[in-house]
Amino acid sequence: MADPNPAVLTAGEGPILAVETSCDDTSAAVMDESGSVLASVVHSQDVIHEKYGGVVPEVASRAHVERATVVVREALAEAELRPQDLGRVAVTVGPGLIGALLIGLNTAKAIAWAHRLPLVPVHHLHGHLAAVWLTEPQVAFPMVTLIASGGHTSLILVEDSRTFRLLGQTLDDAAGEAMDKGARLLGLGYPGGRELDALAEQGEPGGFQFPIGLARKGNLDFSFSGVKTAMYYLLREMDEAERRANRADIAAAYREAVVEALISKLLQAGQLTGVPTLAVAGGVAANSLLRRRLEHEGTTAGFEVVIPRLSYCTDNAAMIAAAARSGPLLPFPAYLALEAAASLALDADLNPNSEKAGL
């Protein structure tokens, strides 16, 4: 087994400035050489996208343009550093909304180039995985991490801080997307996952039954399109008064079905691979039932469980800085050819000058 936290930064030592703009949050963070977060700034676009009921890519890109330099400046000020004090710049290069990614990439390139700094390209999911050892630096590798967000639902075997294997993923909707769509059917606000979670806390899940996709033992993929369709038909059969009277119970049963799929497959993946640690990351890791169940069932089954704090679960640049400590470090000015990619395999080679380049 490789060294779990390899100190790979032989060049460009010094604080990392990380930039993340893959979806609808503009974020920048500064991390020192020991891995401590000196600053983490996230400018959420929720209020902008709220009126559309979802993220509008063009609008997100424009908001990133307006905010990127302000957010970077704020992170540096919070860390009490000047750009010339930095050792390297890290940035998310994919996967994500291409227009949004390009704003972050070009911001990072410009800062790195202007100060003759090296640059580290980071895969967005590597960032989510790194939230686990950012939260718990002494965590035992290998681990299975569930990444559940608005765009992703994946089970990943994390052998060390830069070696990953995809064990399973959603074949249709992401878990967060299922939460958001269910919330919208119930007439809740945006972002829906959080609202549905709050409503479910007031209900009883027993009165309604929602399907759990791909429930067969040993199957580590997910499917959430059936649960949303079931909610649609259930609500269609009810009149307004019935819907209102049963809202909390329906939300509770719906949340239960989504969380059951996530937890049971995460536990199965842990048992099948024999890892000591189970972890969760991504916005859906904010779900109160998921957190309670994972803590309880994971520990009861003998696993070390890591649930990152909420600010490191949702998109943020601190997790990108943590991932960047595992490289690859591109020297000045080799990264000028670097491109962003809307879809990007987790094991893609992010060095544009390498023969196996995935970008």
**Minimum distance from residue 149 beta carbon to ligand KG4 (Å):** 3
Task: Please select the residue that binds Zn ion; options are 315, 318, 322, 348, rule is CB under 5 A.
Answer: 315
Computed from CA positions of residues 273, 275, 277, 281, in that sequence, does the dihedral angle turn out positive or negative? negative
176 binds, among Zn ion, ligand KG4, none (CB under 5 to 8 A by kind): ligand KG4
Residue 149 binding ligand KG4, by CB under 6 A: yes
According to DSSP, the β-strands at 37-44 and 25-31 are antiparallel
Mark residues 280-319: x for contact with ligand KG4 by CB under 6 A, - for none.
--xxx-xx--------------------------xx----
SS3 helix, strand, coil % of the chain, rounded to 5?
A: 45, 20, 35
CA distance linking residue 110 with residue 106, whole number of Å: 6
Residue 205 binding ligand KG4, by CB under 6 A: no
Task: Please select the residue that binds Zn ion; options are 21, 61, 92, 149, rule is CB under 5 A.
Answer: 149
CA distance linking residue 157 with residue 273, whole number of Å: 8
DSSP at 139: P
**Minimum distance from residue 24 beta carbon to ligand KG4 (Å):** 8
CA distance linking residue 21 with residue 102, whole number of Å: 8
DSSP state letters, 144-161: EEEEESSS-EEEEEEEET
Which C-beta is closer to ligand KG4: that of 61 or that of 351?
61
Query: Does 328 sit behind a cis peptide bond, omega within 30 degrees of 0 on the bond before it?
Result: yes
Kindly determine how many residues on this chain lie close enough to bind Zn ion according to the rule CB under 5 A: 2
Kindly determine how many residues on this chain lie close enough to bind ligand KG4 according to the rule CB under 6 A: 19
Residues binding ligand KG4 (CB under 6 A): 23, 149-151, 176, 179-180, 191-194, 197, 282-284, 286-287, 314-315
Residues binding Zn ion (CB under 5 A): 149, 315
